Amino acid sequence: MPNLSETLGSLLKDIANSRVKSDLFSRDASLEYFKDPVLRLFPVPRVEIRSADLELTFAVASARQEDVKTSDVARSVFSQNVSSLRSRLLSVPARAARSARKAETLDALLGGEQEKVRAELDKRLDAFMTEKADALSEQLIQDPDAFARTLGGAAARILRDVMATTGVRPVFTADLQKEVNDRALEWSRSTSGQLKQALTRARAEAFNLDLAVTKDDLVNLPQTAVARVKVTVEIQNYEWIETEDEKGETVNKLVVA
């Protein structure tokens, strides 16, 4: 059974195509008018469709909801946002050694090893979240602050492990852990909203209506059971123009009239 976009799309394309047929008729008529000494003095008839209103009645034959797995949507959201988590974590201030006077961001401390560490952090953070997506996705939706506590601990461990593979050994203090927790909290709150939106979109994508649109389907239905859609469209008119491409060659192009 058809859905709404297919049904209306087919009708609207027919309206646009009817103007094409009308123009072809006008072309033939203009040649006839040209041949006749009297008709030549008359304007050639031509139909111009600028806009159209359409009303369609239909009934919802069935509504179907396919399963949407929260953890699948969460895996995708985690992977899309892992680089933003990594950037936040590497913006944490740290000292290169206990004796160092000045703290710098972890990213700045990495010097020439930035790219390698960024890639490794992305991989490890993504693996942590996607492997436990079933449990973590529910926690991120229900309680992003609790999720942030889980993430803060794991992120600090991952940071320490990855940093250990480099020539830079920042000092991991309680202050640094607090900064990591704060970054995890910011990220969790923002990503929780994104996950909820992505789930709404995925559920809408997985929901479908089959419509009954034929006369036979609708003829004896009570009016209270009939759905309606009213559509207002502008018919877009195009014309050919001659223009130059980037090489200076003449090309023909369709533009809105």
Partner 1 sequence: MSRRRLRRMGRFQMDEPTPLKLLGAHLVRELEKLKALGSDGSGARAFHLKEVEVSIPFAAQSDAAPAPIVLGDEEPLTAVEAIARLDHLKTAAFVEVGRIADAPVDSIAVLRLRVKF
* Residues of this chain that bind partner 1 (CB under 8 A): 3-5, 8-9, 12-13, 15-17, 20, 51-52, 59-65, 200-201, 203-205, 207-210, 212, 216-222, 224-236, 238, 254
Burial class of residue 73 in the structure, from the number of CB atoms within 10 Å of its CB (0-12 exposed, 13-18 middle, 19+ buried) = buried
**Cβ atoms < 10 Å from Cβ of 39:** 13
Please identify, using beta-carbon distances, which residue of 116 and 253 lies nearer to partner 1.
Answer: 253
Min dist. Cβ of residue 115 to partner 1 (A): 37
Please identify, using beta-carbon distances, which residue of 51 and 250 lies nearer to partner 1.
Answer: 51
Q: Quick check: 210 and 64 in contact, CB under 8 A?
A: yes
Please identify, using beta-carbon distances, which residue of 99 and 236 lies nearer to partner 1.
Answer: 236
Distances (CA, A) of 235 to 18, 149, 153: 11, 56, 59
Min dist. Cβ of residue 222 to partner 1 (A): 6
Min dist. Cβ of residue 232 to partner 1 (A): 5
Q: For 139, phi and psi rounded to 5 degrees? A: -65, -40
Please identify, using beta-carbon distances, which residue of 31 and 219 lies nearer to partner 1.
Answer: 219
Q: Quick check: 190 and 153 in contact, CB under 8 A?
A: no
Min dist. Cβ of residue 22 to partner 1 (A): 12
Pairing between β-strand 93-94 and β-strand 104-105 as defined by DSSP bridges: antiparallel
Q: Which amino acid is at 179?
A: E
Please identify, using beta-carbon distances, which residue of 29 and 235 lies nearer to partner 1.
Answer: 235
Q: Quick check: 160 and 94 in contact, CB under 8 A?
A: no
Min dist. Cβ of residue 78 to partner 1 (A): 23
Supply 36's token pair.
Answer: 């006749």
